Structure 1
Amino acid sequence: MNASALAATTAPPPSLAVFAGHAGIAPLTRVSLARIEQRIDVYLRFGEPARIIRLDRWRRIAVFLPGAMFCRIRWHANDYGTIRWRLMVMQSCTPLDAAQRIPGVLPGARLLLHAEGEPAVRAVLSQLDAIEAQSIAPADVSPTYWRTLGNRLAARLPLPAYTAERHAAWLAGKVLP
């Protein structure tokens, strides 16, 4: 069999087949949000969705472009008080990126930080407040910082501060090829 016949019979790799016939269409990440007064609150702490779709009075869907970073907080309560606190910092992906399946996030996202329980969530929220106090948008923070913060939480070590110098180094590194 000659080379031209072999090239004509081989199929493109499965990773490229995703884009066949869909040139210019970016895959979007859909994040479910909900609010039922005094019971459930699933909301975005930061992140700039490309679009928000309102399903009904209680439910919305935030749509993110690939590469966008966002933070979703999930809070549940019952008649006796708060029963669940969960905070996740995620980055939306393309079909070629490694992503994790996360409930309420379709088709999935890269999980950078996961905090469960009131003390851990409050610790991360205080770090977010400190970042915003420096006039830095949390969605622009280095993904490595969020991973480091999550690892420090899991190991019960002191949480590192995100400084303006660290942010300047991250921005300078993004410019390099």
Structure 2
Amino acid sequence: MQTVMPVLRQEGAPPLRDTMRVSLLEGWRNASVRLRFGRPCCVMALGEGRRLAVFEAGQRCARLLRLRNGYGIVREELLVLQAGYAGQALQRVAGVSPGARVLLRAQGQSQVKAVLMLVGRIEAAGFAAQEVAPCYWRTVHNRLVAQQTLPMYTAGRHAAWLARRLLQE
């Protein structure tokens, strides 16, 4: 897995307005919170393995949470989040301020592993995972809940998403 890391900003720099701020944690023995994909506009170092990734409105990312104890992984969760626009209703998510649109929630090792494999296949097909259509991530979430096979992201789906996005602008 790779983590996206743009230029670090200094501690205390004011976050941008209308943004989503995602708390990240690495280097701790029992917990890690990292990005699987996403393109933050900045990452602020908070010290001791803590960082804050800032995303502009409309941007998407995947946050991977792993909690461990002496016997292995206790909790594993992958969320695909989209930063909201001003005035838009957002869901509250721990570690995400002020909130986000949750496009996909995978909980448990089997669901998280399936989604991570899907993200790998999407990237191998030549698509940037953060550029994938939001409705695709919702479809994947619904298929996970229904325990059905996960659909592959195709060039036709991507072309339809790009055409719809042009019409909405």
Normalised by the size of structure 1, how large is the TM-score?
Answer: 0.83
Structure 1, unpaired ranges of 5+: 1-24
TM superposition shift of 1:76: 1.0
Matched, 1:140 2:131: yes
Structure in which a larger fraction of residues adopt helix: 1
Q: Partner residue of 2:19?
A: 28
More off after superposition, 36-45 vs 134-143: 36-45
Superposed displacement of residue 164, structure 1: 1.4
The CA deviation at 1:37 is: 4.2
Residue segments in structure 2 that go unaligned for 5+ positions in a row: 1-15
Residue 166 of structure 1 deviates from its aligned partner by: 1.0
Aligned residues: 153
- Normalising by structure 2, report the TM-score: 0.87
Q: Runs in 1 of length 4+ with deviation above 3 angstroms?
A: none
The correspondence for 2:118, drawn from 127, 133, 145, is 127
- The DSSP-based 3-state class of the residue aligned with 1:176 is helix
CA distance in 2, matches of 1:41, 1:173: 36
Q: What is residue 93 of structure 2 aligned with on the other side?
A: 102
- Further displaced range: 63-72 or 25-34: 25-34
The alpha carbon displacement at 1:35 in A equals 1.4
Amino acid corresponding to residue 49 of structure 2 in structure 1:
W
**Bigger radius of gyration, 1 or 2?**
1
Q: CA deviation at 1:95?
A: 2.8
What residue is the counterpart of 1:59 in the other structure?
Answer: 50
| Whole-angstrom CA distance in 2 between matches of 1:77 and 1:126 | 21
2:142 maps to 151
Q: Which structure: greater strand fraction? A: 2
Which residue in the other structure is 1:21 paired with?
none
